[in-house]
Structure 1
């Protein structure tokens, strides 16, 4: 499993609209091949800052499958205009066996 992590700095006065659009966008991403789950968390200290966590079966399910799809264009149209500088950096993580 791969964990996609993105810090989203949303334009403060657009935060409510961003959350509404994100609910719509959730329906898009959740239907993609390799998708496992996702969550959006809102920062307590900075109310217009969010963290997006998406679990994928493989890295390619995100970087090639989702990002190369027509559904990603819908995702971008719904969400990308809400982001303030800096534009979100997306990173990918894999679990470490601690046992």
Structure 2
């Protein structure tokens, strides 16, 4: 399993519009092969910054399967207009988890 991590710097004042667009975009990514789960969190200290965590079965499910799909173009059209600057996306392997 791979965790995609992205800090999303949303243009200040457009947070509500972004959250509404994300609700429309969520089913797109959730329908992709290899998708496991996602969470979107809003920063308390910097309310225009969001943390997106997406769990994939493999890195290729994200980088090839999703990013090279027609569905990604829909995702991009809904969300990319809100970012300034564009987010950096990284992938992580879980080392440890406590509950």
**Same fold? TM cut 0.5:** yes
Q: How far 1:62 sits from its partner (Å)?
A: 0.1
Q: Does 1:78 pair with 2:78? A: yes
Cα distance in 1 for partners of 2:96, 2:51 equals 24
The one-character-per-residue Cα deviations of 1:36-80 (angstroms, maximum 9, x if unpaired) are: 000100000001000000000000000000000000000000000
Structure 1 unaligned runs (5+)? none
Aligned to 2:90: 91
Q: How far 1:95 sits from its partner (Å)?
A: 1.2
Aligned to 2:43: 43
User: Aligned pair count?
Assistant: 97
Aligned to 1:52: 52
Cα distance in 2 for partners of 1:36, 1:30 equals 8
Cα distance in 2 for partners of 1:96, 1:45 equals 27
Tell me the SS of whatever aligns to 2:61. helix
Aligned to 2:27: 27
> TM-score normalized by structure 1?
0.95
Cα distance in 2 for partners of 1:26, 1:20 equals 10
